[in-house]
Chains A and B, each alone.
Chain A
Amino acid sequence: MSEAMRVNMPLDRAEAKRFRAGDRVLLNGKMLTGRDAAHKRLWELAADGKDLPISIQDQTIYYTGPTPAPPGRPIGAAGPTTSSRMDKYAPLLMDRGLLGMVGKGLRSREVKEAIVRNGAVYFGATGGSGALLSKCIKSAQVVAYPDLGTEAIRLVEVEDFPAIVIIDSEGEDLYETGPKKYARS
């Protein structure tokens, strides 16, 4: 298992292209959060050629819907949600500048093609590790769609947020290669 690399956010396009499936990273800096309902709205605007309420150029979206922040904390539990529900929306958003996604679980062929086409990257965080990941989030601010509550788009600042490169810019998918090593007949 390789040593985790510190990575600054927002990502650098040249650096994003160099990530390889299986690389372990510690994300540091700012990223957006968003899930089903926010993606639907962003996608509908993008499909109509309209402006988005926030810039996604070179940004990374973390697929999470946190629990409410208790007093004294920036955010509640905030682990990744299942990414496949964003598959319908992700390719167009990447074509419009989105560079990174953080979530958990399998992606569609269309998403992989868009990752390769755009030199983007899909990171996996540990699903269900909501308490630990919450502690890597130092601040959170709703920047769009406050009416969506937990599903609002937030700008979060993370420190040493652990993730693994699942799909890289060459289209290699750790969810395909990893299990093959341990499959038995």
Chain B
Amino acid sequence: MPSVRASEVADKVRELCIAAAYELPEDARSAFRRALEMEESPQGKAIFEELLRNADVAAIERIPYCQDTGIAVVFVRKGPGVTIEGGTLTRAITEGVSRGYTDGYLRASLVAEPLFERKNTGDNTPPIIHFEESEVDELVITVVPKGAGSENMSKVVMLTPSAGWEGVKKEVVDAVTRAGANPCPPIVVGVGIGGNLEKCALLSKKALLRDLGDSNPDPRVAALEAELLEAVNKTGIGPQGLGGIITALAVHIETFPTHIAQLPVGINIGCHAYRHKTAVLLRGESNV
């Protein structure tokens, strides 16, 4: 039976937290370079140049790309036959986050409870972990540090079927317009459509894991992504909200079956620090 040691999981999560904070992925850098060519505002162009320099300085001089190193959101895909030796996944991941944020000089941004003392937990734990069962015996972990500036501009809207695509589009454009400069544009917009309240929110977050600019495999949905990106960029908000034609680098839509009476929409706004790192701890070979 395939197994992974809990200590190995902790070590890997530690590594992922640090790498995510310091190394902006190539898909984001290429999106900045494309946007730099397209942007019409001189100030906007200057911001793309600045963001590319920021990514270089972060990676070379080992300074986090952004001081908001986020809540650590962790996605786990595990096959039914994979066992964890010497501990639970939740405890191992939490330990990895604690060590990663401490050893990597990342910011501890979590408070122990939301309403009373709001005392910092000191090591950025607990992470928010989403488990998913895999069809094959693999163990894949993705760490997504999600900052508050963009998360605070995100929302769920419980539309009903008669609102249709036009209703969805209006909600997304309104959310981006109201957010303005706050979520650090250029943004990436994750949209989850369908499911129910929590499912559409989770879909919208998972949409932010996709490689920047990759389209939804369903060509009908891909066309809507392009339509929505154009609509969002017509707002003129631009890089950092100072005006320009690139407000969003991409819109990613994920869908799921839903109730006959529902059209729920999750809108998760991501900032230009499009950070996420994945590790395959066990590669699935045999079908279960």
- Partner-B contacts on A (CB < 8 A): 1, 37, 64-70, 73, 76-79, 81-82, 84, 104-106, 124, 126-132, 134-135, 149-150, 164, 174-175, 177-185
Q: How far is the CB of B240 from chain A (nearest CB, A)?
A: 6
Q: What chain B residues lie within 8 Å of A132 (beta carbons)?
A: 50, 53-54, 57
Minimum C-beta distance from B182 to chain A (A): 4
Bound Cα distance from A74 to B242, whole angstroms: 30
Q: Please, which residue of chain A has its CB at the minimum distance from the CB of B149? A: A82
The complex places the Cα of A164 from the Cα of B120 at a distance, in Å, of: 32
CB-contact partner of A130 in B46, B62, B65, B180, under 8 A: B65
A129 to B46, CA, bound (A): 13
What per-residue 1/0 map shows which CB atoms of B203-240 lie under 8 Å from chain A?
Answer: 00000000000000000000000000000001111101
Bound CA–CA A150/B53 (angstroms)? 25
Report B163-191 residues with CB < 8 Å from chain A CB. Answer: 180-182, 184
In the complex, the chain B residue whose C-beta lies closest to that of A83 is B182
Asked whether A175 lies within 8 Å of B107 as measured between CB atoms, the reply is no
Secondary structure at the B interface, as helix, strand, loop or mixed, is loop
Tell me the residues in window 37-60 of chain B with beta carbons closer than 8 Å to chain A beta carbons.
40-43, 46-47, 50-51, 53-55, 57-58
Q: How near does chain A come to B96, taking the closest CB pair, in angstroms? A: 18
Q: How many angstroms between the C-alpha atoms of A104 and B185 in the bound complex?
A: 11
A1–B43 touching, CB < 8 Å: yes
With A150-B107, A183-B234 known to touch, is A128 a contact of B241 (CB < 8 Å)? Answer: no
Complex A-B: 20 CB contacts under 8 Å:
A68-B105, A70-B105, A76-B107, A104-B181, A105-B182, A127-B184, A127-B271, A129-B51, A130-B67, A131-B54, A132-B50, A132-B53, A134-B63, A150-B107, A150-B108, A178-B241, A180-B236, A182-B238, A183-B234, A183-B235
**B191: min CB distance to chain A, Å:** 21
Q: A68-B107, A76-B107 are in contact. Are A126 and B67 (CB under 8 A)?
A: no
Knowing A81-B149, A105-B181, say if A130 contacts B64 (CB, 8 Å): yes
